[in-house]
Amino acid sequence: MAPFRTIRRFGVLAAALGVGALLAPLGTAAAQDDAGPRPARDGVAWDPASLTQVYAPEPGFYSYAPSVVRDGDTEWIWSCHNDQSRVIEDHIYLTKRVDGVVTETRSVLHASPAPAWDSFHTCDPSVVAGRFHYGGTRYSYAMFYLGNDVDASAHNQVGVAFATDPAGPWVKYPEPIVTSDRVDQWGAGQPTAVSLAGDSGRVLLAYTRGDTSTRAYASVVDLTHVERLRVGPPVLLPTDGLTGADGAADYLNGFDLALDRTGRNVVVVREQHPYPIDNPWWIGPSVQVARLSLTDLLAGTGTWQPLGDIDHDLTGFTRNHNAGLVRTWRGRLADARGVEVVFTSSCSSLPTVDDPDWSQATCDSLYSYDLWSITGRFTRSR
């Protein structure tokens, strides 16, 4: 779920990365100011007191775009992460938490040797359980991910890797399963997947495509026998009902999806627009949780029901972006009565997109990316 401009060459931004201070823990203060659940008429009552830092990388490192599974007292969190201090070259890291304590964090998927399609960045993981037969082995887990082969925000494509254990190792399928031919356009990425048919290899895969416009698609993918994988025709996902941070109609990108416990509805957490004009202007200020019936999503019809926003007023952070839903291994919401969101925070400062004088910067924005969580309960309007 990396921002639409990710993966990117930072250009003039690189000059600012060494001048800022890391974000103060504003979220904690925000939570203490309001101890009770925030009433919501739109479907989720957020509990500010639940705001918790999930993972803070070491200085010089970033973590964002999490795929999160809760299994009992254990949380499995895969995220987009650099592997060398202050080097912007994305790996996929696994951060494992037990009883709320980080027990390990390490790279589990990285670029392939050139000239492979994913020879520069690997990012935007989405992990789901199923039954996947590949190369004579039956795998229990699939990881969909974004990869590219250039040091730029371009030529992104979607691939998949498999493992018998969620800790890895992960075995890549050698070719992308959602392709993009143009090397001068953003391409296809930000995948998110859920299991459709119990203990099988059929999954619903959704993703962002960016070329002449930004839009989202979903396909049914059958990975039961990977050598004979079938990717169904892409369905353009609707945007009716989605609202931006300004209250206006919005488009869909940078999202994670899950099925609710009934299996009849899809819940998404998605980046809101418009993007701010100050640093960092390539990520959204807030994310929105919304719901749509699975039938409508598969048909590319229907109207989303916004359920709640995660924004500065709720968290104290000026950027709340690149979020993931806490799910089960099959891609259903982990909490039957509500939703938990793991999102990325960031500081912000001058310069602005219209006046990029990096001498004004006090925010080392990329290296302030860390992971926080917040929970909410579903509500019903009277």
CATH number at residue 332: 2.115.10.20
And the tokens for 40? 């919501």
Is residue 233 in some structural domain? yes
- Tell me what pLDDT residue 297 has: 98
Give a yes or no: residue 303 inside a domain: yes
Per-residue confidence in pLDDT tens, the chain, 382 aa: 454 444 332 222 222 222 222 222 223 333 333 445 544 455 999 999 999 999 999 999 999 999 999 999 999 999 999 999 999 999 999 999 999 999 999 999 999 999 999 999 999 999 999 999 999 999 999 999 999 999 998 999 999 999 999 999 999 999 999 999 999 999 999 999 999 987 789 999 999 999 999 999 999 999 999 999 999 999 999 999 999 999 999 999 999 999 999 999 999 999 999 999 999 999 999 999 999 999 999 999 999 999 999 999 999 999 999 999 999 999 999 999 999 999 999 999 999 999 999 999 999 999 999 999 999 999 986 5
Whole-number pLDDT of residue 266 = 98
Q: What is the pLDDT of residue 380?
A: 81
Q: Which domain holds residue 195?
A: 11-378
The pTM (predicted TM-score) of the whole model is: 0.90
Domain count, the chain: 1
Round to whole Å and give the CA distance between 351 and 209.
29
Distance separating alpha carbons of residues 81 and 64, to the nearest angstrom: 7
What pLDDT shows up at residue 329?
Answer: 97
- Is 2 part of any domain? no
| pLDDT value of residue 1 | 46
Residue 36 lies inside a defined structural domain of this protein: yes
Residue 4 lies in a domain: no
Is the dihedral angle over the CA atoms 189, 190, 196, 197 positive or is it negative?
positive
* Residue 367 counted as domain residue: yes
- Specify if 1 maps to a domain: no
Handedness of CA 87, 350, 348, 256 (dihedral sign): negative
What share of residues in the chain are helix, strand, coil (percent, to 5)?
10, 50, 45
pLDDT of residue 154: 96
3 within some domain: no
Give the 3-state secondary structure of residue 306: strand
Q: DSSP readout, 137-204?
A: EEEEEEEEEEEESSSSS--BEEEEEEESSTT---EE-SS-SB----TTS-EEEEEEEEESSSSSSEEE
**pLDDT at 381 (0 to 100):** 63
